[in-house]
Structure 1
Amino acid sequence: MARDLRMLFGANDRSVAAEEAFTNREAQWQAVVAALTDHLQRVANPSFDVEDLASPRHNVLVAHGVGGIGKSTFSRKTEASLTHPGGRPEQWAAPGWPIERLLPVRIDLARSSGVDFERVVLSIRLAVAALGRPMPAFDLALRRHWERNHPGEPLEEYLRRGGMFSRFSNAVNLPGQLQSSLADVAQALAMPGTIGGAVGQLTTALVGALRERRQTVRALAGCSRLADILEAEPDLETLSFATHLLAWDLAQLPAVQRATLVVLFDSFEEVGDRTHRDFERLLQRIVWLMPNAFFVITGRDRLQWAEDGLQGQLDWTGPAAWPGLAGHVPGARTRGGPAVRQILVGDFSPEDCDDHLARRLAHNGQPLIGPDLRRAITERSHGLPLYLDLAVMRFLEIRRSGRVPQPDDFGDFPALISRTLSDLTSDERHVLRSVSLLDAFSVPLATKVAGLTRDAAALRLTERPFIREDLTGLWPFHLHQVVRSAIRNADDQTDDRWSEQDWHRAALRAQAALGEEWAHGPRRDRAVLIGVLRQGLRLARDFNLAELGWLAEAAFSYVSDSVWEPLAPPTHGHDSAVLSTPADALVETLSALARRQREHRARTVERLTAVIDSGLLPAELQEMPVYYRAKALRDIGRIQDSRLDYQQVADGGGRLAQAARRGLAQAARLAGDFPTTLAAAQILGWEGRHQRVLGDLYWIQGEPQRAAEAYLAGRLEAEQHAKAGEAAHSQALRALALAFVDPGQADDELDLAEQLLAGLDLRASTINAAIASLIRDAGSPAIDDRARTVRTELDVAGLTSMTSTLEVAVAFHQAVLDDHQGLNATIARLREQSSDGAYAYYTDIAHFMAGLPLPTGHTPPRWLDGEHTTRTRWRALVTARRDLLRTAR
């Protein structure tokens, strides 16, 4: 394993071993092996023609990924693995072909390497020199190019002082091979002596001989384009086309001496930008004109060669020319299609991150970074190798100070910003910072948030590897989490960094763009509402935006459907327990409403009370926490307090006034004032959910069939208004009502309720469905155990108001079985639960079902049709169930 000098020199402690830790890239290596295997099979096919310039090319594999992901390491390891067996990492499986017949050459295209196109071509020729054979066609063109462009400078002297060529052990042999090629041609043309400075004369004579098709030059006459290249001006353009001659020369070698050239271009993003493609065009020409060579290209970005829009900028473009580059799905092969030759060098797995950190630094053979700290760094890295490297450097820096590194020492690194922004245009950097405010974005949304008038910069940005794409998402693009966190939170020292005011202006643009997305975007459904609310709430809170604007309307839309998806956005150094702005108050309100499906209702009352007492919400929103506190108070049995809140909202005449009037009507029902409830229901309308109020009233009167009809009407109304939550709630209640009358139909209704509840977080409705299943199965074994389970769930949720309904279901079961002992216990529980006067009528119903007289001094409710009629109805339901069970036996 190689020594990591940067880490080694980062510590005074010589006992610290710093090694270059290579973490498994097995999937990418397998892609190289598969692509190279496919290439070798194509070249070995008798129909393969190295001079065919029209057929699609399959001789390139692209590995792309964000800066610092490990592409260069992967490129170096691949070169070593193709050079000699001992260079292959132990994790990589051996290929199925002998590497001895490969000629690998890795060329770093980074600006720091000082490479130019001429050096690229020379590096390729030096790799081929290992075969020990002249390449006569190409060597003539290369010698002519050298004589014209480097007059008086011997090639051997240039190679001796060119540092990048020192790694080629055969560099000293190349001038001799070129001279041998010239001598062979001179001899074939019967020209005297060693040519030396008379290359021009020799090539002129050779071109003439080729044109005249002389037998003396038949060995080169098979290269149909040699004469044209030798006649062309010997500049870089011609040199790029001359690589076709090298491909031809390699193809003429006897089979036993033939080898496959493998060229690895690294740091491909530095050959230019997407406007100036001169260098890229020359390199692409090499790839196309050398179809018998295989190319592995690593860089930050996908290659665009398969895009038709680049016609004119590059010589060969489009999916027909480069079928393997047309897709960018990670992996080695698409089902039923061509090999996919664009692979993503992705993030490390948590296991690979830990392995990487454990092996980078060691002390006495043990990892210097402990397991707990490695775990913390791994979590914050999100698998980005660059983050791991920066974390190791920070670890050494802190250790040098004499302090023990702690997890809190590893946050965001400014270096991530500079590495990410280094090759972006000014507009792309502007869009990148803008979209870092968003969880996800589309191209139009990114353009609006950036305040630009054209999509070009956003479109280019989406092609960058640190932008992840999810075609199933509401907005398809999102930033790599570590990159986003660094841009948002790290100390940005770049020249075009944003001030606090710049960030605030961008937040205002983002907020406006999200509101427009919801109000006028291509979709206006629940998913869009939740998406814009989550992002908009966080922006309003984190940037202390004074005006809530469209968020108020969106908040009412959110609560109107009673679905309760989680909304609380993640915090960025924000104390969620402190309410100091309207945005804080709105976030806390909606979070409390969503969380009440998983929290005790008493906790909901506490949270909403804190919002109400803060007085931060604007007047139009203030009724929201008051109304939902009233509901929570009712659920935990504080009926009088609940009524006061309902009355306050109803008197305010706001958007929830009609819902509050329904709450007052329900309060009258809880108190046993059924005529008042019935009268109120007549004027509630759809907004007051009048059908649900009627359904709740009718089944208590012993008319479950009539209640089921009302619930059905309520469900249909909800579906017409696209209110999925209300539809599911009404359906669960419909199943509950029908369970008293027809267990078979109730079974079907419960199936439908389960379908409607799927994906919704409606705890009370789900429990209603569970109670309905108990009523459906009344008279059957195991009811008691199931009832205890539901009772426990109600206690945990704080849904005290529903406990009495559960006890009525149990009483129905006991009455069917004529279980007087169990029934007496149930009646005792009902009496205890209704000690404050609410739900007292459930005690009456339990007596009615069992045919028992009411206790002396009992105050009855105001039944709609009188006590006798109601008693008769409930008793009839019990006897009907007994008859049904008897028949079933």
Structure 2
Amino acid sequence: MTEFDDLFDPQYAAVDLFTNRVPENRVFADAVLMHLERVLDGVAILGDPVRRNVVSFYGIGGIGKTMLSQRLEDWLRGELTGSTDWGDRPVFDQSVHTARIDFHGSKVVSAIDILLVLRAALAGEGRTFPAFDVGLAAWWALARPGEPLPVIAKAGGLDVRAQIAATLTDALGGALDDTLRDVVSDAGGRLGIGPFSVRMGVRIVDAVRQRRLRGRLLRECDPLVAITERARRDPSQDIASSLAGLLSWDFEHLLPGERPLVVAFADAAEYIQDADRVQEALFNRIVYLTPAILWVVTSQRSLDWTSPATDGVLPKTGPGTWPGLCSPPRAEPSQHLVGDLSDADVMRYLSRASGTGGTPVLSDEVMNRILRGAHGLPLYLDLSLSIARAHGGKRLDSRQFGGPLPALVTRVFADLPEEERKLARTASLLPRFDPALVARAAGLLEGDARRLCARALVRRDEHPRFPYRLHDAVRTALADEAPSNRGAWTAPDRLARAQDLLDALRQRHDGVLNDIDHRLDLLQLAAGLCAEHGIEAPWLRKALFELPGMSRTAERLPPPDDRTWMGQLSRFFEAWRGRTTRERIDYLEDLVTTPLPHDVARAARLFLAYAHRTAGDADRALPILQALLAAEPDSSLLRYQLGRTLHTLGRYDELDVLLRESPPADPTEVERLRSDLAFERGQLTVAMAGAAARAEYLHAAGRHRVATENQSAALWRAALAGRATVAECDAMIAKADRSGAWLIMRTSLAAKAICLVGDEPAVSAILAEAASIIRARSGFPGWREWSAELLHALRLDDRHRIAAVREQWDARQPTCTPNYRLVDQLFRHAGYPPSYPPLPDDAEPANVDGRWHAIISRIIERT
């Protein structure tokens, strides 16, 4: 048995020696003092286009940048333990606040997560950030309806989430009704702030635009108006990153004595310095929009934000914007290459470790070979001592030392117990992991994985679900190790284990179907494995499609890449990144003309057809669905979608042939299609039953998003039949509100208005809310709103109101669809001539008109 547990005794870690070197600390201390002076002088502000708020430390993997970053933060906070040559930190009159952003293992930047960390760092008793909090609430409600804000930790026990809730209640005041005010009120509630919703987001945007906020300064914040309006149309991460400017706006309106010194540490930025720069652009914008925050960036590569190559790629570039990032720098703070340890430091470290703490005596030859091989790299020294300690007190052969770093890594791995060696190689395939995941994939015990996680080769951070990761230099060495090394994997070995990891991720995913955040974390790791190893995983595609919010899913996927299946699937999801329905149609139309894997091409065409149908262009959806069905004649889904489209277009003969000769395999699909036909003919009992049966089936199958669409259709038809209640409508509105289902919300609001026909205040309020939702999506009123308003106007015999709706109808001249046939029937009831011809396959069209006349009469005559 070896003494491997003692191999990384902290007393003799080379990283400690490195962080005791003074130059990096002096650079940081000078940067802090210069930054603080600029903040106090009032020049570190949004209005000054020059930014001097970045100090960068860069260097090769294994040099100790992460430890340096952590030690600098501890030193600034006055919490650095152990002996150090740095001395005490300066004494500041201001409170000192820090934030930490760890990019390890992150191929995707979450701008909103960074901003929540900064908001927590800035928080303090009595220190409010109303513009940011209102902007955050609007964005969050529109981008993540149904989700509460996460717990926002703050040292000292301050409840930042409750502080945000109090700020919202105070700022919005009368802009929210009682229901929505309950959401943001923290009075008596343990959670402090509940799930936001689309309606709340729309009302916040309206209140901001109409300047109905409390507080003169807040009402005068023009950027808040612009950002919330953009969030209304496009609640993407791009817009979220702009919220950083609101945080700075609030900071600049604090009294000078209330402004803390804020330093943000961004570690492992190389993970977001990808080729297309999309992720780095979000970080670039946040740093630019927070001039009063000093950013300490550690990375394997320097920041090239002054290079002409970044013009038009990153939001803010050029030497005039970032003088400290020029080479050579034109101002301080600036960038600094993290150098190697000096020969004297290396020998001092080895001499101190020799013969103590489980390390055998190191001969001069061993120390000299380590010195020549290390080139001053701290990780190399730690690994060398691990090899020495593994000998268990035996005489050391100097020839075992001095090899290249990759060889050193594999040598250390060879001395690990076999189980831990397998686990470590499994973990090396992931940017981050937890013990249970790698144990399941490797077919080993979780206890073995936990012992591995205690090794110094494994680092721990604050990720809530996957808190462990192998050192980057170790992952790189394992990926490149020679097959001749003991236990080394070949490319097929790595591929097989990646498949095992995918299986483990799938099993865990299937067990947490009601936890969207957990599913996203799992699917993000799975997508990364597929991208890295060229794997195709149909279950992953299906799982990604089932998640609510395609745009949020798109934010968590690897970058688009034509070379892999996953990269092509990411290209498909790009259609939901900051695009309206029309823009999405344009993107997908271009995408389907490019070479794509079969399943991705099929999905792109299918969702293009859906988008056309949603936009009211079912005639453009029809040929796409026909072509897809011709290629897959056995697809029940495609037959059903084709039937829905034929019905929408009024092509009843073709629909009849489809239902007779090749109906969908699922009986509820046929039932739904027949119920749609019954709806047009005013046979509401059959119309309700078919939609309800389809909804029940889909809910049982776990397809909740599509089930809710069918449920809302059943509710709409029930309202027309006088068999829906206001409570049922409110429940559906709330459900759609939490999930961000805009069209379902509009349908449910219209159904509620029909339930309340004749109640002028109630119906006017409902229609006003629907109008706000329509504005939020840059849309237009349609059959839902026109049906509700016409029924209400007919009940009140308000001819002026009927004429106003008719003007909208004439201006739009909507294509004939089943629901627009209903609007036409309402106009005919009001005395207008028909706009559409009778149903072509109905032998007695008068019976259809008679049924609808009776339905409309019952609604407008009921008490």
> What TM-score, normalized to structure 1?
0.49
Shift of 1:632: 0.9
1:764 maps to: 743
2:847 maps to: 869
Is 2:561 the partner of 1:583? no
The question of whether the paired residues in 2 share the 8 Å contact of 1:635 and 1:799 is answered with no
CA shift digits 1:624-663 (9 cap, x unpaired): 11111111112223332211001011112268x3233223
Distance in 2, matches of 1:861 and 1:66, equals 73
Secondary structure at the residue paired with 1:661?
Answer: helix
1:553 maps to: 539
1:649 maps to: 628
2:648 maps to: 670
Counterpart of 2:328 (choices 379, 395, 402) is 402
- 603-612 vs 860-869, greater mean Cα deviation: 860-869
The question of whether the paired residues in 2 share the 8 Å contact of 1:354 and 1:378 is answered with no
Shift of 1:742: 2.7
Distance in 1, matches of 2:774 and 2:615, equals 10
CA shift digits 1:412-437 (9 cap, x unpaired): 99999957995897467996786576
The question of whether the paired residues in 2 share the 8 Å contact of 1:674 and 1:864 is answered with no
For structure 1, the 5+ residue unaligned runs are: 23-63, 94-328, 334-348, 358-371
The question of whether the paired residues in 2 share the 8 Å contact of 1:538 and 1:570 is answered with no
Closer, same or farther: CA 73–608 of 1 in aligned 2, 3 Å: closer
The question of whether the paired residues in 1 share the 8 Å contact of 2:94 and 2:260 is answered with no
Closer, same or farther: CA 553–498 of 1 in aligned 2, 3 Å: closer
1:725 maps to: 705
Task: Tell me which amino acid in the other structure corresponds to 1:555.
Answer: R
Closer, same or farther: CA 792–442 of 1 in aligned 2, 3 Å: same
Shift of 1:730: 1.9
> What TM-score, normalized to structure 2?
0.50
Distance in 2, matches of 1:521 and 1:92, equals 44
Shift of 1:539: 3.6
Task: Tell me which amino acid in the other structure corresponds to 1:535.
Answer: L
The question of whether the paired residues in 2 share the 8 Å contact of 1:736 and 1:746 is answered with no
Closer, same or farther: CA 882–804 of 1 in aligned 2, 3 Å: closer
The question of whether the paired residues in 2 share the 8 Å contact of 1:811 and 1:823 is answered with yes
2:615 maps to: 636
Secondary structure at the residue paired with 2:739?
Answer: coil
The question of whether the paired residues in 1 share the 8 Å contact of 2:568 and 2:600 is answered with no
Closer, same or farther: CA 680–649 of 1 in aligned 2, 3 Å: same
Counterpart of 1:700 (choices 668, 672, 680) is 680
1:535 maps to: 525
The question of whether the paired residues in 2 share the 8 Å contact of 1:537 and 1:583 is answered with yes
1:568 maps to: 554
CA shift digits 1:585-625 (9 cap, x unpaired): 21222453x55xx742212212222332112213x443211
Aligned CA-pair RMSD: 5.8
Closer, same or farther: CA 804–739 of 1 in aligned 2, 3 Å: same
Closer, same or farther: CA 565–21 of 1 in aligned 2, 3 Å: closer
Distance in 1, matches of 2:326 and 2:691, equals 72
Query: What are the within-5 Å matches in structure 2 for residues 459-474 of structure 1?
Result: 459-462=450-453, 466-468=459-461
The question of whether the paired residues in 2 share the 8 Å contact of 1:719 and 1:727 is answered with yes
Counterpart of 1:826 (choices 769, 787, 805) is 805
Closer, same or farther: CA 765–522 of 1 in aligned 2, 3 Å: closer
Is 2:346 the partner of 1:354? no
Closer, same or farther: CA 514–607 of 1 in aligned 2, 3 Å: farther
Query: What are the within-5 Å matches in structure 2 for residues 79-98 of structure 1?
Result: none
CA shift digits 1:34-74 (9 cap, x unpaired): xxxxxxxxxxxxxxxxxxxxxxxxxxxxxx99963766888
Secondary structure at the residue paired with 1:616?
Answer: coil
Counterpart of 1:68 (choices 58, 66, 71) is 71
Shift of 1:355: 4.8
Secondary structure at the residue paired with 2:593?
Answer: helix
Distance in 1, matches of 2:736 and 2:380, equals 44
Distance in 2, matches of 1:653 and 1:374, equals 46
Distance in 1, matches of 2:832 and 2:326, equals 85
Task: Tell me which amino acid in the other structure corresponds to 2:330.
Answer: V
Distance in 1, matches of 2:555 and 2:719, equals 41
The question of whether the paired residues in 2 share the 8 Å contact of 1:538 and 1:571 is answered with yes
2:467 maps to: 478
Closer, same or farther: CA 17–640 of 1 in aligned 2, 3 Å: closer
Distance in 2, matches of 1:421 and 1:692, equals 70
Secondary structure at the residue paired with 1:689?
Answer: helix
Query: What are the within-5 Å matches in structure 2 for residues 297-446 of structure 1?
Result: 354-355=262-263, 376=287, 387=298, 402-404=328-330, 422=382, 426=413, 435=427, 438=430, 441-446=433-438
CA shift digits 1:153-193 (9 cap, x unpaired): xxxxxxxxxxxxxxxxxxxxxxxxxxxxxxxxxxxxxxxxx
Distance in 1, matches of 2:94 and 2:674, equals 70
Task: Tell me which amino acid in the other structure corresponds to 2:852.
Answer: W
Counterpart of 1:513 (choices 482, 496, 500) is 500
Closer, same or farther: CA 546–811 of 1 in aligned 2, 3 Å: same
Closer, same or farther: CA 601–767 of 1 in aligned 2, 3 Å: same
The question of whether the paired residues in 1 share the 8 Å contact of 2:323 and 2:331 is answered with no
Distance in 1, matches of 2:674 and 2:731, equals 21
- 720-729 vs 399-408, greater mean Cα deviation: 399-408
The question of whether the paired residues in 1 share the 8 Å contact of 2:592 and 2:605 is answered with yes
For structure 2, the 5+ residue unaligned runs are: 1-19, 37-66, 97-152, 158-246, 249-258, 266-282, 307-321, 342-375, 387-411, 483-488
2:790 maps to: 811
Query: What are the within-5 Å matches in structure 2 for residues 245-256 of structure 1?
Result: none
Counterpart of 1:780 (choices 759, 784, 787) is 759
Task: Tell me which amino acid in the other structure corresponds to 1:803.
Answer: G
Closer, same or farther: CA 649–571 of 1 in aligned 2, 3 Å: closer
Distance in 2, matches of 1:495 and 1:668, equals 55
Is 2:669 the partner of 1:689? yes
Secondary structure at the residue paired with 1:567?
Answer: helix
Secondary structure at the residue paired with 2:467?
Answer: strand
CA shift digits 1:764-784 (9 cap, x unpaired): 323322332333333332545
Query: What are the within-5 Å matches in structure 2 for residues 221-236 of structure 1?
Result: none
Counterpart of 1:661 (choices 639, 642, 645) is 639
Shift of 1:670: 2.4
Closer, same or farther: CA 690–411 of 1 in aligned 2, 3 Å: farther
The question of whether the paired residues in 2 share the 8 Å contact of 1:462 and 1:477 is answered with no
Query: What are the within-5 Å matches in structure 2 for residues 265-304 of structure 1?
Result: none
Q: Percent identity?
A: 13
The question of whether the paired residues in 2 share the 8 Å contact of 1:716 and 1:727 is answered with yes
CA shift digits 1:490-545 (9 cap, x unpaired): xx49995643998987974664134312554584453576544332223433x3x4
Closer, same or farther: CA 509–702 of 1 in aligned 2, 3 Å: same
Distance in 2, matches of 1:92 and 1:69, equals 17
CA shift digits 1:336-360 (9 cap, x unpaired): xxxxxxxxxxxxx999873589xxx
The question of whether the paired residues in 2 share the 8 Å contact of 1:739 and 1:746 is answered with yes
CA shift digits 1:306-351 (9 cap, x unpaired): xxxxxxxxxxxxxxxxxxxxxxx99999xxxxxxxxxxxxxxx999
Distance in 1, matches of 2:95 and 2:548, equals 54
2:390 maps to: none
Is 2:9 the partner of 1:6? no
Distance in 2, matches of 1:16 and 1:69, equals 12
The question of whether the paired residues in 2 share the 8 Å contact of 1:77 and 1:88 is answered with no
Task: Tell me which amino acid in the other structure corresponds to 2:71.
Answer: G
Task: Tell me which amino acid in the other structure corresponds to 2:850.
Answer: T
Task: Tell me which amino acid in the other structure corresponds to 1:537.
Answer: A
2:729 maps to: 750
